[in-house]
Amino acid sequence: MKIIQLQLYVLISFQAAVSDLQTDLGSNVTINCEFDEDEVYWISLKTADPPTLILRSMSTTPSPFYFNNTFRNKYSVQFKHRLVINNVTVDELGVYYCMNTDTPPKLSNSTRIYITESAQLAECHNQTVVDQTQWQIISIISALMNGLLLIVLIGVVKVFVVGKRRSVEQSQQLNTDLQQIQVTEQHQDPNHLQYAEVNFSKLRRNFRSSQVNTTYAALKPPKL
């Protein structure tokens, strides 16, 4: 693999003929291969990146060999090794080469795929809008989850406080009922009857002798 990449560096450095192919984002692009051979390689080159081997097309088999499995959904080949790029995005923009398997290998004329600046701006704007929408959705979901968690915590605290208050009130009410029952039983028990002591000696002292004589005189029968 390293030897092939080194050969590509050398060949591309001497490559001069480049044809431009303008396209729209999301469309399919087909690039022809100049070699009429049984086996060829398709290579892509992007700015500041090393050459990338995409696939090896063989006339004996309908399915090409992909150097990376992620290329299967993006690239395919047609008759005479023509490369098809499906649903072009900004990532697929660059220069494409067809190379044979001879020794030394040869490169076909390159094809540069590009889009207009307005299309690039539209793509960047759309991507920005999508990112902002995703962040807004994430923020809304996060806020809802935090609000729900706060409501649950408030409910738990409220249930705990109310339950504790009810327990204290029930305990106080139970003590009050027990005291009332004890008072009622004491009033109903004859052994707890209360008696008042009266000192008759003090009452005797309060009676005067004149009152006694008057009473005796009233009771004495009259003289005839």
* CATH at residue 16: 2.60.40.10
Q: How far apart are CA 140 and CA 134, in angstroms?
A: 10
Q: How far apart are CA 155 and CA 169, in angstroms?
A: 21
* pLDDT score at 113: 92
Does residue 219 form part of some domain? no
* pLDDT score at 89: 92
Same domain, 136 and 73: no
Same domain, 111 and 11: yes
Q: How far apart are CA 167 and CA 161, in angstroms?
A: 10
Same domain, 96 and 29: yes
Per-residue pLDDT of the chain (224 residues; tens, 9 = 90+): 545 555 555 555 545 578 899 999 999 999 999 888 899 999 998 877 788 899 999 988 888 999 999 999 999 999 889 999 999 999 999 999 998 888 778 888 889 999 876 555 556 656 676 677 778 888 788 788 888 888 888 888 877 777 777 777 777 777 776 777 766 666 655 555 455 555 555 545 554 555 545 544 555 555 55
Does residue 221 form part of some domain? no
Q: How far apart are CA 120 and CA 114, in angstroms?
A: 9
* pLDDT score at 213: 53
Total domains in the fold of the chain: 2
* pLDDT score at 207: 47
* pLDDT score at 8: 57
Same domain, 37 and 109: yes
Same domain, 110 and 21: yes
- Final residue of a structural domain among 59, 81, 115: 115
Within 13 Å, how many C-alpha atoms sit on residue 91's CB side?
8
Same domain, 43 and 57: yes
Q: How far apart are CA 111 and CA 20, in angstroms?
A: 6
Same domain, 146 and 89: no
* pLDDT score at 108: 86
Same domain, 99 and 130: no
Same domain, 7 and 106: yes
Do the beta carbons of residue 81 and residue 35 sit within 8 Å? yes
Structural domain of 93: 2-115
- Give the pTM: 0.49
* pLDDT score at 223: 56
Same domain, 80 and 130: no
Same domain, 156 and 84: no
Q: How far apart are CA 148 and CA 135, in angstroms?
A: 20
Does residue 217 form part of some domain? no
Same domain, 100 and 79: yes
Does residue 202 form part of some domain? no
